[in-house]
Structure 1
Amino acid sequence: MTDADMPDAARLAVLAGRHLDLVTAPFTLPRSRVLVFRADDGVRVHTSEYERRLEDCRVLDEVTVTDAAGAVLPVRDVQPHRIAFGSETGSAVATLAFDGPAALSVAGSDGVHATLRHRDGRVERHPLAGGGIRIRIAPDRSIAIEPGDHESALAESERLWLEWFARCPRVREDLQQMTAFCWWVLGANIVELPALGDARAVVPSKIGYVGLWQWDAYFIAVGLRHGDPELAREQLDIAFRFPGADGQLPDVVHEEGILATSDDLPESDRATLRRAGSQIADPSQPVPLTKPPLAAWALRKVLEAEDRPDWAREQLGRVIRSQDWWFAVSDLDGDGMPEYGHPYSSGLDDSPIFDGPIPTAAPDLAAYLVCQDREIAALLGRYEPNADTDRFLARAERTQELLNGMWDADTGRFLARGAGEEIRSDTVVGLMPLRTGTLPDGIRDALRDAVDDPARYGLDWGLPTVAADDPDFSPERMWRGPVWINTSVLVAEGLELSGYAERARELREQTARLVVHGGGPHEYYNPFTGFKAERATTSFGWSAALFVDLAVALT
């Protein structure tokens, strides 16, 4: 049977399977905390846990499948629902599948065995004929071996994945395979948060980012809305569920609680900040941690997919309180322009705009606040027609004026300020004011020129996060030069809102090409090669979600 002859969901599953290399894309199941990676002669098994390294979450160091003569049967093919092992002749075969979220099922033909190498060095060997074996994995990463019912496990795993792929958007053919893989990433990154009543969080990555980050939830919801609006709403539900008494939304919701101040940071984050020479690694007073105000933007986009007025009104109240928090609590110098009190609250953790003193007034934050007040007014007009929207529109105008005052005519750039000191770095945050759509013509045109300038942002593989000719530029260091999908998408939207619709489409096409060329939705990309940056995470949630959103828009 060719791909074209298959039922649509099955075809999409096969397309996604072409990217499941068990290295950048592990074998897993929606809601599961178990990950299977390629090992030397077989596979290895890990769990996925909040703030624990993959190496610290080992379950089995290796699972090797052998035939009756003891020859290793290598991995021959991977599909979302199973890993196939086999000899070159096909005379000996075995498959591995999930048997529920916390167990693996392995079975094979007569004479085939599985050898399990444990963390402590113990080795055990099991025949796989018949129903095979079931490897049950406990929360403490211990295992129990039980008789298996492999056919049932395999069928159920395939059913779950086909149900997921039935929701995958159908897009332009040249983008369909990567869309299917990105849709797999979103399904694969679903975890349960039992403390929240089995809430389903689509995490940034089961490899190192097991929690619901506020900003990530917004971008992920925007992609999910095209096939699963209910799951998209669930991401916003979780992100909005734990506001502080003053309305602040937390940075992260995870299985052990929330992260809302610097006091909640794990030691690994503090150590990273110390290495960067940050003054806020160990503050004497807690610093609030949140994420940029894109809540109303995400809410509006999710509601475009499926209108839910009662739900919208409930969430809108929380969004308004969070927006008011920025002006009431995070305007740290009292000049009317809120600041980032911590690099993490910007989402751009190691951007050079934080090399100077903190707090930091940044043009991206100002632009987000302008847009969010206007979004709130529009949403109120739709869902609360008797509400007074004047204060939001008036505040947007005041913030826009302050934003325009951050323009530096000598450099032709918006400049951030750290504790009042100008920060001269030429970074992507200076392009975000395009999103307001109401910049003076000369400033708007200058930003368009910057996007096109090959010495600054007009690179072959996309929009770097620091201009290529800036002294702070690095093609590999997170927010100091690599291309990120979310900033590219936000700038593209800004170009469209500022009257450059064709240039916006070109940037969207370029961003989609980058993901295809780079082999998948990675965390960030080297802007010169178009491939994954060395330290970037793979199978990254918001890159996957925003690729889906791009593919739908470009169809």
Structure 2
Amino acid sequence: MRPILLLLAITVMQGAFAQRAHFSDVLNLRTDPPAGRSIEPNVFSDMGAWHAYALPLQRADYGAFIGPLLMDMNGRWLSDAISRLKVSADGRQMEFTGHAIHYYPGLLEQSFVSGNIFVRQRLIFVSGREALLQTDIRNRGRQPVTLKMEYSGKVKNGLADASGLKAGNFSILWPQADSVRSDSLRYAAVWSATLRAGETFSQTQRHAYAPDGRQPDGRYDFNQELARNKRRWDGYLSKYFSGTKRLSEKEKRLAVKCIVTLMTNWRSASKDILHDGVFPSVNYQGFYGVWSWDSWKQAAGIATFFPELAKNNIRSMFDYQDEHGMIADCIYADKSENNWRDTKPPLAAWGVWEVFCRSRDTAFVREMLPRLIRYHEWWYKHRDHDGNGLCEYGSTDGTRIAAAWESGMDNAVRFDSAVMLTHHAGAWSLNQESVDLNAYLYAEKQYLSKLCAVAGLKNSYAAGAKTLQQLIGNRFYDAQAGFFRDRMLRSPAHVPVDGPEGWIPLWAGLATPAQAEAVQHKMADTSCFNTYIPLPTLSYAHPAFDPGDGYWRGPVWLDQFAFGTEGLRKYGYDTLAAALETKLLNGAEGLLQDQPVYENYHPLSGKGLNARNFSWSAAHLLMILKNK
């Protein structure tokens, strides 16, 4: 084949590869109507909307999309199925048979056949407040047929009329109905039509939910919006898959599952959340907000397919940067609930750099740089108790629990003996210097130097990084253990605990070759970190290893896993990194099937643990798959 024809063929294949139609049901959205306050079923949302839907599981629910799930400071189901379709043909109710029910990226679809009648329902989001439900009913017979279409639903404190339904801040706008029956709990809206042979009845409903009470007033053409929806999603997939050549079909589907996970966790600006941000998980009540180091990690993954959302995800946290430069641990739609007791590890400059690498947006760099510098300097003013240039995790309220939260590794064994020290008003430190914190700060100096170069600013961050590199190597590397470990202040001994903090110096690129060789031996050791699912958050050899009920005392977290394999690659241990990644992808529960991406995984069984559809897990998987 001639070179130009080969290039054309490759381009055509890549274009087809990026079509969302190739990726149906990467995540199983079929569920029974939810009971009580359970929000664990997999759901679909898009465009930052604050409501979500699922697909029907049981025959009794065919013709309905499950939900919606409404989100604000917590999640609640408004209805088991707010718009349930029944169709009668010539006076006889149809049985929905020959069904096809699918979830495509950005689209829910179900279709049914009953005799000569074909029914198709599709649901897409068109804004951060609105979804469209389209119904097409086609007469495939040779004779006219008279149809009655009834949409019904059950809500609390709702009221319907001929033009739609209103239930609190949720509403449905539909074409003028022939008749409506309604009370405060139920409604039924009816339309009638006689269809000639080959004729189609079409109806579009607009479902809107505005948690801030500002009801939208959009008018949409469904077919035009569906075309936009397809272009947008095909664009996400095309951008992500550009440059990936070695993914298996299952790995491609995993990548798309990670993308839809992040997009379903996307929330548009609302109330006190001033820029679009991404929740850690739509399926866990405690995660209905935006967290700081989650945001930096999410941004790095989202930038591989949607840089604009990645930028806003970072902005959403910096909107609340205080006068000292501190970033809150997390923010909510009600800012009175924002957590200022602690911050999180300094990965913001890395996140901005990753977004810049994908977007080449120098204006974004100039916008964020002064804020990043203030945040970087905050650490040394408020978290270096003895002024030796090495920082500690701490809190603003003097509590040890908030200081442990600040590490991001809430109950990590390495902090079990730490106590609090008063630094100054509003600033307390643990009496323990942490190697990961200082390695992150080293990396941040390197990224700040690069970002300053992009912005055309002179700086001394690279020189500061060299000084810090020497301090970290001298202070934290335990030659006897062959690993980096924390140190107590004014103590000659290392904290005798091995966890992911020990390979963060490899990710940061500050370890010497000899140190990196020792660390990788431990990472490859089946008695330490090379478990069934590798790189747990505590060495398998430690007596406190407890992945079943441990949170940060043994489970595998994919952010720390990804930092580990990236660190190995920086020092040339590509074969080990690839082997560990293969074990993760093949062993972690449901990763290569249609099951959710979990918050963390059991290192000995592969079982998914804690929150489902977890954003930073999805983000890091997207980056791991880019290594292929």
Give TM-score, length-normalised by structure 1.
0.80
Q: Is the 8 A contact 2:290 2:332 kept in 1?
A: yes
Matched position secondary structure for 1:516: coil
Aligned to 1:248: 326
Aligned to 2:229: 160
One-letter identity of the residue aligned with 2:79: L
Q: Is the 8 A contact 1:97 1:154 kept in 2?
A: no
Deviation at 1:441?
4.6
Aligned to 1:392: 464
User: 617, 620, 624: which is aligned to 1:546?
Assistant: 620
Q: Is the 8 A contact 1:210 1:254 kept in 2?
A: yes
Structure 1 residues 388-443: Cα deviation after superposition (integer angstroms, max 9, x where no partner) = 44652354235424xx4233445444333567786434322222222243334543
Structure 1 residues 156-203: Cα deviation after superposition (integer angstroms, max 9, x where no partner) = 245324313323222334132222222222333322113579732233
Structure with greater proportional helix content: 1
Query: Could you tell me how far apart the structure 2 residues matched to 1:510 and 1:536 are?
Result: 22
Aligned to 1:230: 308
User: 544, 551, 575: which is aligned to 1:478?
Assistant: 551
Aligned to 1:102: 130
When structure 1 is superposed on structure 2, of 435-444 and 453-462 the one drifting more is 435-444
Deviation at 1:451?
0.8
Which runs of structure 2 are paired with 1:488-503 in the superposition (5 Å)?
A: 488-503=561-576
Matched position secondary structure for 1:194: coil
Query: Could you tell me how far apart the structure 2 residues matched to 1:518 and 1:45 are?
Result: 21
Q: Is the 8 A contact 1:350 1:479 kept in 2?
A: yes
Structure 1 residues 353-405: Cα deviation after superposition (integer angstroms, max 9, x where no partner) = 3433342432211211122223323433453353344652354235424xx42
Structure 1 residues 259-314: Cα deviation after superposition (integer angstroms, max 9, x where no partner) = 7xxxx44xxxxxxxxxxxxxxxxxxxx73x21211122222222222323343233
Q: 1:8/1:191 Cα in 2 relative to 1: closer, same or farther (>3 Å)?
A: farther
Matched position secondary structure for 1:125: strand
User: 44, 50, 63: which is aligned to 2:66?
Assistant: 44
Structure 1 residues 217-270: Cα deviation after superposition (integer angstroms, max 9, x where no partner) = 2222222223333332333333333322221122224333387xxxx44xxxxx
User: 269, 279, 290: which is aligned to 1:203?
Assistant: 279
Query: Could you tell me how far apart the structure 2 residues matched to 1:72 and 1:300 are?
Result: 52
Deviation at 1:84?
0.9
Q: Which has the larger radius of gyration?
A: 2
User: 156, 179, 197: which is aligned to 2:255?
Assistant: 179
Structure 1 residues 92-134: Cα deviation after superposition (integer angstroms, max 9, x where no partner) = 6341414643345263644554442324793433447744473
One-letter identity of the residue aligned with 1:529: S
Structure 1 residues 316-374: Cα deviation after superposition (integer angstroms, max 9, x where no partner) = 22222211111110123544321111222222223233433342432211211122223
- CA RMSD, aligned part only? 3.7
Aligned to 1:313: 366
2:46 corresponds to 1:29: yes
Deviation at 1:448?
0.6
2:136 corresponds to 1:116: no
Matched position secondary structure for 2:464: helix
Q: 1:140/1:204 Cα in 2 relative to 1: closer, same or farther (>3 Å)?
A: closer
Structure 1 residues 1-46: Cα deviation after superposition (integer angstroms, max 9, x where no partner) = xxx9996387334405342424553122222111113566434324
2:455 corresponds to 1:383: yes
One-letter identity of the residue aligned with 2:446: R
When structure 1 is superposed on structure 2, of 18-27 and 292-301 the one drifting more is 18-27
Query: Could you tell me how far apart the structure 2 residues matched to 1:543 and 1:510 are?
Result: 16
Aligned to 2:23: 15
2:109 corresponds to 1:83: yes
2:343 corresponds to 1:290: yes
Query: Could you tell me how far apart the structure 2 residues matched to 1:331 and 1:205 are?
Result: 33
Query: Could you tell me how far apart the structure 1 residues matched to 2:70 and 2:16 are?
Result: 31
Structure with greater proportional strand content: 2
Q: 1:70/1:489 Cα in 2 relative to 1: closer, same or farther (>3 Å)?
A: same
Q: Is the 8 A contact 1:33 1:49 kept in 2?
A: yes
User: 477, 498, 513: which is aligned to 1:426?
Assistant: 498
One-letter identity of the residue aligned with 2:291: W
Q: 1:16/1:238 Cα in 2 relative to 1: closer, same or farther (>3 Å)?
A: farther
Query: Could you tell me how far apart the structure 2 residues matched to 1:518 and 1:469 are?
Result: 33
Matched position secondary structure for 2:276: strand
User: 291, 302, 307: which is aligned to 1:213?
Assistant: 291
Sequence identity percentage: 21
When structure 1 is superposed on structure 2, of 365-374 and 423-432 the one drifting more is 423-432
Q: Is the 8 A contact 1:99 1:134 kept in 2?
A: no
Query: Could you tell me how far apart the structure 1 residues matched to 2:350 and 2:307 are?
Result: 15
Q: 1:409/1:399 Cα in 2 relative to 1: closer, same or farther (>3 Å)?
A: closer
Query: Could you tell me how far apart the structure 2 residues matched to 1:198 and 1:160 are?
Result: 25
Deviation at 1:524?
1.6
2:597 corresponds to 1:536: no
Deviation at 1:510?
4.1
Q: 1:378/1:104 Cα in 2 relative to 1: closer, same or farther (>3 Å)?
A: closer
Query: Could you tell me how far apart the structure 2 residues matched to 1:6 and 1:398 are?
Result: 47
When structure 1 is superposed on structure 2, of 332-341 and 364-373 the one drifting more is 332-341
Any unmatched runs of 5+ in structure 2?
A: 1-11, 32-40, 138-146, 158-183, 193-200, 395-402, 420-429
Query: Could you tell me how far apart the structure 2 residues matched to 1:90 and 1:471 are?
Result: 68
When structure 1 is superposed on structure 2, of 161-170 and 502-511 the one drifting more is 502-511
Q: 1:254/1:316 Cα in 2 relative to 1: closer, same or farther (>3 Å)?
A: same
Q: Is the 8 A contact 2:293 2:347 kept in 1?
A: yes
Q: Is the 8 A contact 1:193 1:254 kept in 2?
A: no
Query: Could you tell me how far apart the structure 1 residues matched to 2:67 and 2:272 are?
Result: 27
Q: Is the 8 A contact 1:512 1:547 kept in 2?
A: no
Q: Is the 8 A contact 1:214 1:291 kept in 2?
A: yes
Aligned to 2:79: 60
When structure 1 is superposed on structure 2, of 123-132 and 324-333 the one drifting more is 123-132
Q: 1:529/1:338 Cα in 2 relative to 1: closer, same or farther (>3 Å)?
A: same
Aligned to 1:277: none
When structure 1 is superposed on structure 2, of 360-369 and 308-317 the one drifting more is 308-317
Q: 1:32/1:45 Cα in 2 relative to 1: closer, same or farther (>3 Å)?
A: same
One-letter identity of the residue aligned with 2:101: R
Q: 1:77/1:377 Cα in 2 relative to 1: closer, same or farther (>3 Å)?
A: closer
Q: 1:501/1:182 Cα in 2 relative to 1: closer, same or farther (>3 Å)?
A: same
Which runs of structure 2 are paired with 1:514-525 in the superposition (5 Å)?
A: 514=588, 515-516=591-592, 519-525=595-601
Q: 1:161/1:352 Cα in 2 relative to 1: closer, same or farther (>3 Å)?
A: farther
Aligned to 1:353: 414
Query: Could you tell me how far apart the structure 2 residues matched to 1:141 and 1:230 are?
Result: 23
Matched position secondary structure for 2:393: coil
Q: Is the 8 A contact 2:404 2:410 kept in 1?
A: yes
Matched position secondary structure for 1:36: strand
User: 421, 437, 441: which is aligned to 1:369?
Assistant: 441
Query: Could you tell me how far apart the structure 1 residues matched to 2:457 and 2:527 are?
Result: 48
